[in-house]
Amino acid sequence: MEADGFVRRRRMTAETTGNDPGVAGASAGAEVRWLGGRFWGVSETIVGSLSPRIGGETELQTVDCNRSAQDAQTEDSEPDYEGLPQGASTSTHMWAGAVAGIMEHCLMFPIDCVKTRMQSLQPAPAARYRNVMDALRRIIATEGVWRPMRGLNATAVGAGPAHALYFASYEKLKKTLSDAIHPGANSHLANGTAGCVATVLHDAIMNPTEVVKQRMQMYNSPYRGVMDCVRAVWYKEGPGAFYRSYTTQLTMNVPFQALHFMTYEYLQELLNPHRQYNPSSHMMSGALAGAIAAAATTPLDVCKTLLNTQESLTLHSLSPSQGPGQGQGQGAHRQISGLAHAFRTVYRLGGLPGFFKGVQARIIYQMPSTAISWSVYEFFKYGLTKHQHNKRRSQ
């Protein structure tokens, strides 16, 4: 790309110098010789063989040759796209990750609302939907146009710092582990391991946000707003309620992100082997990686949603099993805690199909979500690093 831009600038200069044939010929000669100088050991042969045909004065040719060599050296000192992220600062990864995370969650939030409702084990009659579009239509028609956006502000506040830490730690660990495991080449083991560690840090920030968001997304949510939800959960269930699903979320997200990152990097090797900035390949790789990882981890996502929402109809349906005279035990079932308890509850109320409730909405949500995330992240990472590189060069 840089070479093409250089050649075009040379052509424009040749065409605008008063249409002087001598100057134009010298500029054309410089263009051809500059391209020849890019190939080691061939430049002198190309220049020597083409000079008689091009014409132009010897002095101009010598000056242009020297200038071309300097330009080529300058161009060689400028890294390609794959080289840019290697020198990117941690702040670049954090800024790019924060913007990518906020855009990903905000743009796909209505579908996330539908996914949460479709994963309900005991939905109210008015909250039983045939598919994603039916759910969106009915939510907007019966509850208002802004209902699918409830909890968006909490998500945006959490997504920025969570994704900043997520992408920065992933990039740092991926490079460190790749150099140790397979120097100079891509390592799927390094990608998967870096993704797992990044997920642990990401979820530590994002888990309380998920609790608030999903409780506000549920049908007939009793909370007036984000702060009302935070206060109610804090006073009624204690601060531990914000991390009740943390182990479940890690159990889901660690394999999800390992599969996600490994698939993304593998598809990049196929679709973008030279690792240039290619928005279409980033988008395609991100979408496919998100879809595969989402489908594989849906059962764990159903359990996570149950732990986060503690939906009342599900809790009431568990109470009769305690039998008469067991009021204290019945009270213990007023909350579902732990992954094993969530698994038993899902299987008891929904059987094996219950573990895949909302799988369609989850895939529809994750495909564009991961495509947006990777596209925005790669764009800002490239733009910010390029700006920093040009700033250093100008100094």
pLDDT > 90 fraction of the chain, expressed in percent and rounded = 35
Residue with the larger pLDDT of the pair 339 and 57: 339
Per-residue pLDDT at 3: 42
User: What's the mean pLDDT in 363-392?
Assistant: 87
Per-residue pLDDT at 294: 92
User: What's the mean pLDDT in 148-167?
Assistant: 93
Q: What is the pLDDT of residues 29-39, one digit of tens each?
A: 444 344 344 43
Mean pLDDT of the chain: 77
Per-residue pLDDT at 324: 38
Judged against a pLDDT cut of 60, whether residue 261 lies above it is answered with yes
* Residue 253: closest CA among 290, 216, 214: 290
Judged against a pLDDT cut of 90, whether residue 390 lies above it is answered with no
pLDDT > 70 fraction of the chain, expressed in percent and rounded = 72
Per-residue pLDDT at 334: 65
Per-residue pLDDT at 318: 64
Mean pLDDT is lowest, of 64-73, 103-112, 273-282, for 64-73
Judged against a pLDDT cut of 70, whether residue 58 lies above it is answered with no
User: What's the mean pLDDT in 288-297?
Assistant: 93
User: What's the mean pLDDT in 250-268?
Assistant: 88
- Report which residue type is found at 92: T
Residue with the larger pLDDT of the pair 10 and 390: 390
Per-residue pLDDT at 188: 82
**pTM of the predicted model as reported, rounded to 2 decimal places:** 0.65
Per-residue pLDDT at 313: 66
Judged against a pLDDT cut of 70, whether residue 184 lies above it is answered with yes
Residue with the larger pLDDT of the pair 306 and 184: 306
Per-residue pLDDT at 180: 87
Judged against a pLDDT cut of 90, whether residue 139 lies above it is answered with yes
